[in-house]
Amino acid sequence: MCNSCEKQLETKFADGNVDLTLLEPIFAEYTGKPGSIISILQKTQEIYGYLPLSALQAIADKTGNKRAKIYGIATFYSQFRLSPVGKYVILQCHGTACHVLGAEKVGSAICDELGISPGETTTDGLFTLEDVACLGCCSLAPVIMINGETYGKLTPDSVRKILQNIAEAEKGGVVCEA
Amino acid sequence: MKLRVGFGSCGIAAGGRKVVEKLEAEMKNHGQQVELILTGCIGMCFYEPIVDVIDNNDKVYTYANVTPEKAEEIFNTHILGGKPLEQYIVSTSDKPYPILSKQVRIALKNCGIINPENLDDYLAKDGYKALAKVIKEMTPEGVIEEVKVSGLRGRGGAGFPTWFKWNAANKSKGDIKYVVCNADEGDPGAFMDRSVLEGDPHALLEGMAICGYAIGAREGHIYCRAEYPLAIKRLEIAISEAKKKNLLGDNIMGTGFSFDMHIKKGAGAFVCGEETALIASLEGERGMPRLKPPFPAQSGFWAKPTNINNVETFANVPWILFNGGKAYAAYGTEKSKGTKVFALAGKIKNGGLVEVPMGMKLREVIYDIGGGIANDKDFKAVQMGGPSGGCIPKELLDTPVDYDSITKTGAIMGSGGMIVMDEDTCMVDMARFFLDFTCKESCGKCIYCRIGTKRMLEILERITAGQGREGDIEKLQELAVSVKDGSLCGLGQTAPNPVLTTIRYFRHEYEAHIRDKKCPAKICKPLLTYTINADACKGCTLCAKKCAVQAITGKPKQLHVIDQALCTKCGNCATVCRFNAVGIE
């Protein structure tokens, strides 16, 4: 890593704009419980929607670990993200059944509709698209999950409609369940 | 009269919630309260949302693909009027649908039948009776013997005899031991564990408690993937209910045996399906496998003797202890006893979960139970065992499904995912798809797994991009052997299987890609050419309008032409053409 990159990363680890007091209840719950790092990271992500590097630093300090180790765990698992996400997180399944039944076309339709690639968030902060290995609803393939709700037997057109409905509802200030 | 609605992830996704809301509204409107049972998945996912009407003689009428409108009709005509709506009924308890009548349900016995959030429902189905029998009347050794008689083998993939692992953990010295359940169902294409967790969580808890008694453990940990939020919620409810009734926790049923249960949410890593990686993850570390021995039975979770089984394995245990190992061994073949759950998906008519005796032929599972290939296309292959498995071709459709016969084909039983593929599936693309998965999921510890899979993937990507070279197939085979030999855990050792089986059975497809630069299944885009058929084109201009790169030109009512230099092969023109005028070569 070059010098300036390292410095940049260093400032993120010390970012004062993240409210770290929110972590206190988590620390209280897990203090003295060995093997809790993944659980702590999961709860942290529930609070912020992602894992701010300064939170990782705080977790490292609190649990007596090197921050490289916490960073290593956070980047090992696909559940954890290091950047903020949109209000609606779309998990697109790329399991075998979905692949065979046209997940790729559904994925292109989502990207085209939202103007983002997998792993990105729309500029209005509404949608984040993530590719996942399998959601376990193979008989409904192709499948996506939006904030815990599963949508199955998708076509490029139907997935566009689902996203448009959500965006529409957001504009009107009411969110209906599609 | 009672009402039962399928309320697993699949039922909810198919619209089950709106059906339930409608039924509740109808009850209110008519001031008629009917017992409404929300169950897990019965396995007929293609029929969801499913509503069962159970009459006073316990006869079950199954309604399929229920919409809120249909639900209203069912309520008014069948519940209030007492007249079954024959036109919507697909199965009744005295004349069950063939998909159900060919099955033997042991692990799935309560799925789709009981309300998973109600302990009394489970108790009414002889729930926790096996545990009571075990802790009151049997010795730990006696329990292990019964499991040995049953012939139960691990249902997670490798098929290791369950009793052997239990026995090893039982023999290990130590005051503290652990039972761990692998509920990190990571195989793309398998969802039987989710179904058990969502549909019958107490069966898992009971199976784990029995294992705890057999090996001398007082604590159980369930490692469940975070992608299964409904499963985790139902497990939490089940644990708290069972504790309230003293079926888990301290001094169970006054016998002095204590067993507590914890849930740990996985964070998404396929490699955590491997025992030692799972243990590392349970301890909060990166999930990386380590060398065995020592085996977890000697030194596992927190370096204590630990027994790990997967969900389906544990779900079989209460039935085995209640009915006896012999009854279980009566099903299946000589070396593969009992039943196995399969997840049928892909290009199959009736996708869903089925449980059949081991030894049934693949053909029976796919055609007699699964209804054959969707849209009546030709069967090409069935993929078994996920990324560690392989593709079994048409010629081997009469292979019996048991551990050893499936292994002989080059695939593996795995956790029981069966993805059916038709003539429109490109086998080279499938090999690329699986390699892409294992390459991403490799933890990076072993060099061959980390870099070898990457190099194999690059070759496959090249072939599917139309840049395959002579010698590529041989290079893939050579690398495959190295990756298998040079990897520590099952992920790397089996990662080349999808490539090897597709080369073995579909070598001609590889050759067509490499030599003729053709994709016979018309899937690999760079190898396709889109042309407009002069006889069929009406000059409607639709394709030209829909083409994103303006590659199509032509005047209204005249033949349109695709400029091959501009065409990005997105396929939009073929999709929108109403006259089937766009040909793909």
Identify whether B19 is part of a domain.
yes
pLDDT exceeds 70 at position A1: no
> Hey, is the C-beta of A74 within 8 angstroms of any chain B C-beta?
no
> Hey, is the C-beta of A118 within 8 angstroms of any chain B C-beta?
no
Task: Please give the helix or strand (H or E) that residue A127 lies within, else none.
Answer: strand A127-132
- Residue B427 pairs in a beta bridge with none
Question: Are A95 and B189 within 8 A, CB to CB?
Answer: yes
Mean pLDDT score, A10-39: 91
pLDDT exceeds 70 at position B284: yes
Residue of B nearest to A65 (CA): B285
B145 with B182, same domain: the answer is yes
pLDDT at B221: 98
Q: Please identify among residues 368-387 of chain B the ones whose CB lies closer than 8 Å to any CB of chain A.
A: 383, 386
Mean pLDDT score, B529-548: 92
- Put residue B191 in one of left, alpha, beta given phi > 0 → left and psi -120 to 50 → alpha: alpha
* Counted domains in chain B: 5
Instruction: Provide, as residue numbers in chain A, all residues whose Cβ is less than 8 Å from the Cβ of B281.
Output: 38
pLDDT at B99: 77
pLDDT band at A176 (very low <50, low <70, confident <90, very high): very low
Distance from C-alpha of B412 to C-alpha of B492, rounded to nearest angstrom: 15
B255 with B124, same domain: the answer is yes
pLDDT at B98: 74
CB atoms within 10 A of CB B212: 27
> Hey, is the C-beta of A73 within 8 angstroms of any chain B C-beta?
yes
Nearest to B269 among A78, A150, A152 (CB): A78
SS (H, E, C) B405-426: HHHHCCCCCCCCEEEEEECCCC
B272 with B163, same domain: the answer is yes
Distance from C-alpha of B1 to C-alpha of B352, rounded to nearest angstrom: 28
B181 with B303, same domain: the answer is yes
pLDDT at A178: 41
Mean pLDDT score, B105-132: 96
pLDDT at A11: 85
Distance from C-alpha of B418 to C-alpha of B329, rounded to nearest angstrom: 24
Cβ–Cβ under 8 Å, residues B280 and B290: yes
Per-residue pLDDT reduced to its tens digit, A63-83: 999 999 999 999 999 999 999
pLDDT at A25: 96
Rounded mean pLDDT of chain A? 90
Identify whether B172 is part of a domain.
yes
Q: Which two tokens stand for residue A18?
A: 């993240």
pLDDT exceeds 60 at position A177: no
> Hey, is the C-beta of A140 within 8 angstroms of any chain B C-beta?
yes
Give burial (CB, 10 Å; 0-12/13-18/19+) of B287.
Answer: buried
Cβ–Cβ under 8 Å, residues B238 and B201: yes
Closest-CA distance, B187 to chain A, in angstroms, reads 7
B418 with B498, same domain: the answer is no
Rounded mean pLDDT of chain B? 94
> Hey, is the C-beta of A139 within 8 angstroms of any chain B C-beta?
yes
B99-108, B260-269, B486-495, B511-520, range with the lowest pLDDT: B99-108
Cβ–Cβ under 8 Å, residues B463 and B513: yes
Question: Are A140 and B352 within 8 A, CB to CB?
Answer: no
Q: For position B543, which CATH number holds?
A: 3.30.70.20
> Hey, is the C-beta of A64 within 8 angstroms of any chain B C-beta?
no
Q: Which domain holds residue B380?
A: 339-422
Nearest to A139 among B227, B270, B345 (CB): B345
pLDDT at B115: 96
Identify whether B112 is part of a domain.
no
Closest-CA distance, A35 to chain B, in angstroms, reads 4
Identify whether B110 is part of a domain.
no
Identify whether B524 is part of a domain.
no
Per-residue CA distances from B44 to A97, A139, B195, B349, B432 (Å):
16, 9, 12, 11, 31
Q: Which two tokens stand for residue A166?
A: 């959500």
B382 with B494, same domain: the answer is no
Nearest to B345 among A37, A141, A151 (CB): A141
Residue of B nearest to A75 (CA): B286
**Pairing of the two strands B60-63 and B51-54:** antiparallel
Distance from C-alpha of B185 to C-alpha of B390, rounded to nearest angstrom: 18
Distance from C-alpha of B318 to C-alpha of B247, rounded to nearest angstrom: 14
Identify whether B108 is part of a domain.
no
Q: For position B349, which CATH number holds?
A: 3.10.20.600
Q: For position B293, which CATH number holds?
A: 3.40.50.11540
Residue finishing a domain among B307, B329, B351 = B329
pLDDT band at A171 (very low <50, low <70, confident <90, very high): confident
Per-residue pLDDT reduced to its tens digit, B205-248: 999 999 999 999 999 999 999 888 899 999 999 999 999 999 99
Distance from C-alpha of B229 to C-alpha of B265, rounded to nearest angstrom: 10
pLDDT exceeds 80 at position A2: no
B259 with B355, same domain: the answer is no
Mean pLDDT score, B7-19: 89
Instruction: Provide, as residue numbers in chain A, all residues whose Cβ is less than 8 Å from the Cβ of B284.
Output: 34-39, 73
Q: Which two tokens stand for residue A27?
A: 């620390």
pLDDT exceeds 80 at position A145: yes
Residue type for B163, please? Answer: W
If DSSP codes are grouped into helix, strand and coil, which group holds residue B161? strand
Q: Which residue has the tokens 């057999």?
A: B214
B interface test, pick of A104, A135, A137 with most B CB neighbours within 10 Å? A137
Distance from C-alpha of B89 to C-alpha of B73, rounded to nearest angstrom: 13
B200 with B181, same domain: the answer is yes
Cβ–Cβ under 8 Å, residues A86 and A128: yes
Task: Please give the helix or strand (H or E) that residue B68 lies within, else none.
Answer: helix B68-73
Closest-CA distance, A69 to chain B, in angstroms, reads 9
Measured between alpha carbons, how far apart are the two ends of chain A, in Å? 46
pLDDT exceeds 50 at position A129: yes
Q: Which two tokens stand for residue B582?
A: 């766009």
**Pairing of the two strands B2-6 and B35-39:** parallel
pLDDT exceeds 50 at position B181: yes
pLDDT band at A143 (very low <50, low <70, confident <90, very high): very high
Cβ–Cβ under 8 Å, residues B482 and B450: no
Question: Are A96 and B286 within 8 A, CB to CB?
Answer: no
pLDDT band at B383 (very low <50, low <70, confident <90, very high): very high
Give burial (CB, 10 Å; 0-12/13-18/19+) of A167.
Answer: middle
Distance from C-alpha of B405 to C-alpha of B74, rounded to nearest angstrom: 46
User: DSSP of B238-267, one letter per residue?
Assistant: HHHHHHHTTSSBSSGGGSS--BEEEEEE--
pLDDT exceeds 90 at position B172: yes
Residue finishing a domain among B376, B393, B422 = B422
Torsion angles phi and psi, residue B16, rounded to 5: -60, -35
pLDDT at A173: 61
> Hey, is the C-beta of B457 within 8 angstroms of any chain A C-beta?
no
Instruction: Provide, as residue numbers in chain A, all residues whose Cβ is less than 8 Å from the Cβ of B226.
Output: 42, 79
> Hey, is the C-beta of B11 within 8 angstroms of any chain A C-beta?
no
Residue finishing a domain among B278, B299, B329 = B329
B310 with B359, same domain: the answer is no
pLDDT at A172: 77
CB neighbour list of residue B459: distance below 8 Å, 6 or more residues apart: B468, B472, B475, B476, B479
Mean pLDDT score, B431-438: 95
> Hey, is the C-beta of A39 within 8 angstroms of any chain B C-beta?
yes
Per-residue pLDDT reduced to its tens digit, B494-511: 999 999 999 999 999 999
Q: Mark out the alpha helices in chain A (DSSP H runs).
A: 3-13, 24-30, 37-48, 53-63, 67-76, 96-100, 103-114, 156-172
Identify whether B102 is part of a domain.
no
Identify whether B229 is part of a domain.
yes
pLDDT at A134: 85
pLDDT exceeds 50 at position B551: yes
B260 with B133, same domain: the answer is yes
In 3D space, the residue among B321, B336, B325, B109 whose CA is nearest the CA of residue B211 turns out to be B321
Q: For position B490, which CATH number holds?
A: 1.20.1440.230
pLDDT above 90 as % of chain B? 88
Question: Are B188 and A148 within 8 A, CB to CB?
Answer: no
**HSE (CB half, 13 Å, CA atoms) of B553?**
5
B138 with B284, same domain: the answer is yes
Residue of B nearest to A112 (CA): B548
Q: For position B37, which CATH number holds?
A: 3.40.30.10
B148 with B244, same domain: the answer is yes
